[in-house]
Structure 1
Amino acid sequence: MNLSMLFSSKRAIAAAFAFAGAQALHAQDSVRYSDYQRAESFLGYNTSSLVKNLNINPHWTDANNLLYSLFENGKDVHYTLDPSTGKITTTNVIKNDPPGMFNGRRLSTRGVVSPDGKKEAFIRNYNLYVKVIATGKEIQLTTDGVKDFGYATDNAGWKHSGAAVLRWSPDSKKIATFQQDERNVGEMYLVSTNVGHPKLEAWKYPLPGDSIVAMIQRVIINVDQPKVIRLKKDPDFHRGTLSDDISSSGTFDDVDWSTDGSQLAFVSTSRDHKIETFQIANANTGDVKEIFQEKVATQFESGQGTINWRYLPESKEIIWYSERDNWGHLYLYDATTGKLKNQITKGDWLVTQMLQVDEKKKEIYFMAAGKEAENPYFQQLCKINFSGKDLKVLTPEVGTHKVQFSKDKAYFFDAYSQPNIPATYVVRKSSNGDKVTELGKADITDLVKTGWKAPTPVKLKAGDGVTDIYGLVFTPTTMDPNKKYPIVDYIYPGPQGGSVGSWAFSPSRGDNQSLAELGCIVIAVEGTSNPNRSKSFHDMSYGNMAINTLPDQIAAIRQLAEKFPIDTTKVGIWGHSGGGFATAGALFRYPDFFKVGISESGNHENRNYEDDWGERYNGLLQNSDYESQANQTLAKNLKGKLLLVTGNMDDNVPPFNTYLVVEALEKANKDFDMLIYPNRPHGYGPDAYYMMRRRWDYFVTNLLEKKHPKEFVLGK
């Protein structure tokens, strides 16, 4: 071999080693296309199909039989259970009315069907109509409804959906509703993105501190011979005892008819949600009698999921929900005198939903949280006597129970599970909770074969070092215990909900596990001030929503780093809506702890968000320092990487909330990133998967400090 050939050979060998080394280095510095594919495999549209009997579609018939289906031998098999005998037989495919149909007849889908199934009430041109379903004949019930002063209008502060908000009387002869006055309420504006003149969207949107907000004038309407009876009282604030809206799925959430339709009980809520007034109206004259009031120092809570009060005209009693002893419990009142008769439920746990009331047997069926020591968020079905005696837990298994009663209320279907334990399905007797039969279980065998694993439930201490908090940890399925991983904190701070949401089993929870598969540990922690705990727990951020459970999140991450291989120098955080508010606040208030954040559609300035939200959880503008809580006032503190996201047609949290933060960051000469979705609402619509992919890219680049595949497509 001559000298030139020798040098050429050495150069070739060196080049080969250099190329191999570069490839190895590149592999270490990159999250590959195949990694994104694997991450995608953990999203719901891939995992749900791998779980047999994830939902067995239970349906009670009028004959009190249960129809359900199980996946067996490669197909769905449909069954009928007769709970009185325990006999199970195969049956034909379960058929229900398709959307927009009722007993085979087409509806408007935005109307409300009467209890007898014969009529449907709906809104047209700000007035209320009914349609006779059998013939299609329409009857106009009101004539004086006009723009911004219409009948049965839902969602003050939101663009009107067209759905009617009302409550039929049990005899289908009367309707309880209201005429909503927004005539002088301030407006919100959004402008479309298009070629040519943009479209202006404008609707009534009251803000905290506005002198004029949406009000309702309560009415009762006779249907057969149309007549409007106005209740003889001052207009009420457009408030609900359950949530920040008076409407709930097309019905009043704060009214209750007597059986004969002669009386209407209802609750008026003060503007700041601190005073609840129980009243009973004469449905024929409109006369109103005040029965009692309850006043609280912060905000009144009437339950998590349903309104937890009932009017019992036969016994002249009221079942009332209150947190006066620091826990959400039921109380029995005399409906004539307004005097308290007795406390029904008590203890260091709470009633979340009152499901059934048997006035003759004087029994109440309700869901309760906090009776399980393992996790206070697990919910069980209980029953109790009006007197407070004979409390019985009807679903004793540990976990979250979801129940459906038979038509005669003698039996109920029960699905119970935990975040890491799939559902078991049983039918029980309502009288004592005894099992009639076990129908089956969700089967995750095929899911586990893919390498899937459940999140790890954890119990931690809050930022105060005393209060117990709970959460879920998602780790890579191939986690190396000798390696430190960046952590991503998925946050939704409430205060009407939380990061975990349901504590029932789910094969996927958003993209938490997917993010973990890309090379990090992901957490979702229910911080203090979230619901389904004690009153004092829920009120821990009252008057200062900017706390956003952030001290709890920091404390949780530090504790988890003692149990999991977490690199606490690489902390990311992201959230949507309230979680977007919390995320930007995290990077502004704790800039040395949170290094990377993705803030989606955040209500960064609650003076720019609808009145009922801030005034309920922060208090009235004059009583709370909204200014110091606003994210734009602290934007100058940013040190890490921040991605701000908004849809420019967001009619829930208007984009101007985000623009205020953008303006402050620019004035402070801060670098940040931004993503805008033209013509998209709060959830980004069909662009949600694009946002998810951009979220993965942002954390891979800035938290994992690696390269990512270019323009990976999700949701295809």
Structure 2
Amino acid sequence: MKHLKFSLFVCLFITTILSAQTKDITLEDIWKNGTFRTESMDVLHSMANGQQYSVFNFDRATRSTSIDIYDYKTLKKVKTLVSSANLDAIPYFTDYTFSDDERQVILATNEVPIYRRSSLGNYYIYHVDDESLSLISEDKIQESTFSPDGKKIAFARDNNLFVKDLSSNETVQITFDGKKNEIINGITDWVYEEEFAFVRAFDWNADSNKIAFIRFNEAKVPEFSMDIYGSELYQTQQVFKYPKAGEANSVVSLHLYDLETKITKAVKVDKAYNDFYIPRIKWTNNPDVLSAQYINRHQNELDLWMVNAKTNTSKLVVAEKDEAYVDVTDNLTFLKDHSFIWTSEKDGYNHIYHYDKNGKLINQVTKGNWEVTNYYGYDEKNNTIFYQSVENGSINRDVYSIKLNGRNKTRLTKSEGTNSAAFSADFSFFINTFSSATTPPEYSLNSAASGNLIKSIKDNDVLSQNLSDYKTSKKEFSTIQVNSNDLNMWMIKPADFDASKQYPLLMYQYSGPGSQQVANQWNSANDYWYQHLAQQGYVVVCVDGRGTGFKGAAFKKVTQNELGKYEVEDQIAAAKQLGALPYIDASRIGIWGWSYGGFMSSNCLFKGHDVFKMAIAVAPVSSWRFYDTIYTERYMTTPQENASGYDDNSPINHVGKLKGDFLLVHGSADDNVHLQNTMRLAEALIQADKQFDWAVYPDKNHGVYGGNTRLHLYKKMTNFINETLGDKIEKQEEDKVKEVKIKG
């Protein structure tokens, strides 16, 4: 007995020493303490001189914000352009925008979010020359934007557009019919903001004398309402226009306002559209010619129009069609000769094209069985285009340069992982952001001509050092052949992995069209959670199945008209293959996901009831009939045209197959994937007499965050995983302790 006591003491002593060297990652580390926070460079702006850049900085000691100017060559701070510590009117600002001549800066403060990308705020102009400050409007406004000559500001308020003359201080209202939930001028409606990813629907021409804007008539769009419970005796309601699949969209129209004549004209294009969107407008270098992208409701026909503001005539210069859908491009660039650069996946992969001003193809600039993933710009002096692509493997990103004629392609980044660039205004330098699964973000100054490193700017070596104290596992990248496709996969095993033992498996996926989760980049918060689970004895895996991105249009668009069919088949097949591995316990396989991933995890548990023991679905779509027009109809057309596509793969219609454990989570104020999805799924489960667990987070949106919310959510999910998959893990740990005692 004495011997056993002594041995146990020694064991505990050694364990204490080892634990100091290999600390466990806790949920508090991830979502409360900021233990793994990375250093970053915020709101980077290249100054017009091409030799300096500005950065948004936050001083934690004084709680102030500043715009600091740095020199590219030395990387030393040249000066602080403006600091809120020196501004009586602004305790802090949250964003900034320069005028073209950089003698004025718009500073944003008191910003209040509306939806995902939109906000209301107070905006000031900081005058660099005399260091003075002027308020643009006493009211909270949206999208304050300098005219190119810097003499005026356009902004939106109460669904109308205004222009302020900065010399006279006079503000002129240019639209008058704006009305909440009915007419919006120059600001996108909810569904455009969410799915076409822009808020400012107006644009200045080069001469600063015309504004083009889109008008949204959402009078016939059905309303959606959400209860906001707050802390008062009675709840309030948020009511907004939300067009669900097959329902009425906003009627959009394009308009031109002339600041000299004060006349607004509606733009007419020479094509009869029955139902359409205007996802992009952009003035060309010619101050009288506006470009506008029009796309039909099915989103399989995209037209680029050139509109002459003087004659109010239009010319169709590019027309793209696809059996599935055409992606809207953000990469339209106009050259001095009025030719333009355009990106398209019309040859099966996303590539760069050069057209003349009339839409005649000059040449395809990039070619190959790989995708261009970002377009950085055109260096006119050196006739060079800069872009990012996956040519070095679909899970990696590199920065390249290529001549406009498609020759002299050069890979500018050297390290394998995820590289992204921010170029100087004259394209002489770029700041590269690099990370991989093993390297936290590093920021470096590089030569745009060669890609060679000039200087390191910022790294996260402190984070790397701190992480070395924690017990972590390598994220292993591979492919798995499923349904005749090589699918990208990563796997995280316990640090003390023993191939002779069996482990429970948790699968994570998102699976939405064009998405990617298997990428060679640094950790997100979820990655630390997966490390936390691995520490407890789980193997965690992610597989990007058919429908995901960066492997060509055919791979991505195979899910067209049947969202949730092939993606679910791939996850179930992958789980079966993984379950056959000697170190995976096939009786303990779970899957989880958020949003589209929640739709997927629900379907996988129901349809794959013989494979999956449990699933967690956070903010899931339970039927695409409940989701918005632009996203859903892009991949499914309308419910009226494709009823079986909507219903055959709706989790609601497969609840009767549920055998395992199911956790359903939603935020009650989710304006994106409405709580309706979870309520209808819950009701279907109840009527099918299927037991399940669920949680609704009061007044939380699609991100389910705020205060202690994320920590609470991940504790709940971790506990659920332990209760449903971890039953043998506890037994294994007990056996380990017994083994230590016996050996002692």
* TM-score bin (small chain): 0.7 to 0.9
Query: 1:658 and 2:678 equivalent?
Result: yes
How do 1:226-237 residues align onto structure 2 when only pairs under 5 Å count? 226-233=262-269
Q: Distance in 1 between matches of 2:55 and 2:214?
A: 40
Q: Distance in 2 between matches of 1:578 and 1:622?
A: 22
SS of 1:47 mapped into structure 2: coil
Query: 1:259 and 2:285 equivalent?
Result: yes
Which residue of 2 is the match for residue 299 of structure 1?
A: 325
CA offsets, 1:122-174, max 9 Å, x none? Answer: 22232111234577542211123334122023234489999643222234332
1:179 paired residue among 187, 197, 215: 215
Which residue of 2 is the match for residue 143 of structure 1?
A: 176
8 Å CA contact 2:344–2:350 kept in 1: the answer is: yes
CA offsets, 1:226-248, max 9 Å, x none? Answer: 332211136785646xxxxx4xx
SS of 1:664 mapped into structure 2: helix
Q: Distance in 2 between matches of 1:201 and 1:89?
A: 48
| Aligned length in residues | 646
Which residue of 2 is the match for residue 9 of structure 1?
A: none
One-letter identity of the residue aligned with 2:246: G
Offset, 1:699? 0.8
1:204 paired residue among 241, 244, 257: 241
8 Å CA contact 1:123–1:162 kept in 2: the answer is: no
Q: Distance in 2 between matches of 1:691 and 1:412?
A: 40
Offset, 1:60? 4.0
8 Å CA contact 2:70–2:78 kept in 1: the answer is: no
8 Å CA contact 1:310–1:319 kept in 2: the answer is: yes
CA offsets, 1:220-271, max 9 Å, x none? Answer: 223455332211136785646xxxxx4xxxxxxx222122421111110110
Q: Distance in 2 between matches of 1:564 and 1:427?
A: 47
Query: 1:110 and 2:142 equivalent?
Result: yes
How do 1:51-450 residues align onto structure 2 when only pairs under 5 Å count? 60-63=46-49, 64-66=51-53, 82-83=71-72, 86-87=73-74, 89=76, 98-99=93-94, 100=108, 101-103=124-126, 105-106=134-135, 108=140, 110-114=142-146, 115-132=148-165, 137-147=170-180, 148-157=182-191, 164-193=200-229, 198-210=235-247, 212-223=248-259, 225-233=261-269, 239=277, 246=279, 254-302=280-328, 307-312=330-335, 314-336=336-358, 338-359=359-380, 361-369=382-390, 371-372=391-392, 375-439=393-457, 441-443=459-461, 444-450=463-469
The two structures have a TM-score, normalised by structure 1, of: 0.82
Q: Distance in 2 between matches of 1:452 and 1:106?
A: 52
SS of 1:614 mapped into structure 2: helix
Using CA pairs under 8 Å that are at least 6 residues apart, name the structure with larger relative contact order, 1 or 2: 1
CA separation of 1:162 and 1:109: change in aligned 2, threshold 3 A: farther
SS of 2:394 mapped into structure 1: coil
8 Å CA contact 2:23–2:469 kept in 1: the answer is: no
8 Å CA contact 1:170–1:257 kept in 2: the answer is: yes
Which residue of 1 is the match for residue 102 of structure 2?
A: none
CA separation of 1:288 and 1:391: change in aligned 2, threshold 3 A: same
Deviates more, 1:179-188 or 1:553-562: 553-562
Q: Distance in 2 between matches of 1:639 and 1:221?
A: 61
8 Å CA contact 1:158–1:652 kept in 2: the answer is: no
8 Å CA contact 2:285–2:338 kept in 1: the answer is: no
Which residue of 1 is the match for residue 553 of structure 2?
A: 535
CA separation of 1:545 and 1:703: change in aligned 2, threshold 3 A: same
The two structures have a TM-score, normalised by structure 2, of: 0.79
Task: Give the CA RMSD over aligned residues.
Answer: 3.5
Which residue of 1 is the match for residue 594 of structure 2?
A: 576
What is the percent sequence identity of the aligned residues? 25
Q: Distance in 1 between matches of 2:156 and 2:550?
A: 36
CA offsets, 1:625-649, max 9 Å, x none? Answer: 2121211111111000111122222
Query: 1:509 and 2:520 equivalent?
Result: no
2:669 paired residue among 645, 649, 661: 649
Q: Distance in 2 between matches of 1:159 and 1:495?
A: 18
One-letter identity of the residue aligned with 2:295: T
8 Å CA contact 2:70–2:79 kept in 1: the answer is: no
Offset, 1:560? 4.8
Which residue of 1 is the match for residue 724 of structure 2?
A: 702
Deviates more, 1:99-108 or 1:675-684: 99-108
Structure 2 stretches lacking a partner, 5+ long:
13-21, 58-66, 85-92, 95-107, 109-123, 127-132, 731-744
- Segments ≥4 residues shifted beyond 6 Å: 34-37, 67-70, 78-81, 158-162
CA separation of 1:410 and 1:237: change in aligned 2, threshold 3 A: farther
Q: Distance in 1 between matches of 2:81 and 2:705?
A: 31
Offset, 1:478? 4.1
Q: Distance in 2 between matches of 1:454 and 1:120?
A: 53
Which residue of 2 is the match for residue 47 of structure 1?
A: 35
Q: Distance in 1 between matches of 2:683 and 2:42?
A: 51
Structure 1 stretches lacking a partner, 5+ long:
1-12, 25-33, 71-77, 241-245, 247-253, 709-716
